[in-house]
Every structure is written in C-alpha cells, then in structure tokens.
Amino acid sequence: MRIKNLLIIVFVLAALSLAAYGVSKITQITTDISLEEIKDCKTVYWEETEDVFGTCTQISTPIICDDEPLNTSCHIEDRSYNYSCKTGTNTIQKSKEECEDREIKLVIDKLTGLEKYDLNYGEWGKCSYTTEQDTLIITCDSKYDGNNDGICQSGESCTQFRITKDNIQKLMKNSRDDFVEDDKTFFLEKLELEAVPK
C-alpha cells in the first residue's frame, strides 16, 4: 500500500511539472493604446541533495611522558576533540516557474470604437517594446538568425511595428543597420500584426 501511494505522489508531481498555464500582464501604453503581454508558463520540479552538518568527535591517544627527557614514566592518554563535520544528507523538493514570451495583444481606442490586434511571435523570436511620445514601438528579433533577445542588432533579421492611434507601420531589416518598409535581404517568414475581427 505504501509503495502504491508513493507511486501516485510521484505521478502527480510529474504531471504537475509538465502542466502549462498562461500568464498575462496589461499595460496602458498611451492614452489610446493598451498592450497585453502573454506568456506560456510551467512549474518545473526537481530534487536537490543538501549536506547536513553537525558535531563530530575525534579521539586521539597520544603517549604522554611526565619525566622528559628520560621518558621512563610514559602512559597513553585518551583525548577527544569536537569539530564541525558532515553528518548526513537531506533531499529537498524544489520548484521554479519558467515562462516564455508568446504573444502581444493590442487595443487601440479610436473615435470609431476599439480596434484589437494580435502579434503571435512565440515561434518566430522575441519581442520588446518602447515608446516615443504617442508611438508604441514593438521590435522583434528573430531566433533563426538573431540572438532572440528582443533587441535588434546589426546582422539580425528583425521586424518593427510603429503604432499610433491612427497608423500602424511595419518595418524590417536584415543586413542593414536601419529599418525600412521593404528589405530585399529579408528572407524569413514575415511576422504579422493581425487585426482581430469584431
């Protein structure tokens, strides 16, 4: 019965370690644009062995002579010394949350109503965003020929979206240092900011 219960616990922990869940965070970027970052997360479990320390005793048996240098009255004397030492180990269950960026959802408040957009970039690379006055700038760095850090550097394939209340501009670059609307050296699958139907 004990082994069966132990196997059930191990199975449940293994299943939980593979369970994925979504996490989102909404940020108001400008008065007209809000952004929701969505991540895929999972809890990973593992065990670590930690040393346990305590007090150990060492016994030595030196020969003591009371009449040096003649040494005719020598005897053996037990002496004990205490010191800190490893006395065993404990197995500790640990866990941590691992998350991967997956998607950005935008809501733009226009006079005609709310427009929603979805940027699903999880398989393409990593995106980051900044603002300049009333412009949201989303820069995506390809994981195929970049370092997948969301920061575009020279020689990396990148896509950039410059978003205002009234306009969405898509730019790209590959073997150049500046972003342009059409880079002939950009051969990767294009990343799209897709409008969500009303």
- 9 band by pLDDT with thresholds 50, 70 and 90: very low
144-163 pLDDT tens trace = 887 778 888 888 888 999 99
Range of the domain at 58: 49-92
Alpha helices (runs of H) in the chain, residue ranges in sequence order: 2-18
**Could you tell me if 181 and 124 lie in one domain?**
yes
Return d(Cα 118, Cα 190) in angstroms, integer: 14
**Could you tell me if 60 and 139 lie in one domain?**
no
**Could you tell me if 62 and 105 lie in one domain?**
no
**Could you tell me if 126 and 172 lie in one domain?**
yes
**Could you tell me if 26 and 108 lie in one domain?**
yes
**Could you tell me if 160 and 184 lie in one domain?**
yes
- 118 band by pLDDT with thresholds 50, 70 and 90: very high
- Mean residue pLDDT of the chain comes to 83
Residue 189: HSE in the Cβ half-sphere, 13 Å Cα cutoff: 9
**Could you tell me if 72 and 141 lie in one domain?**
no
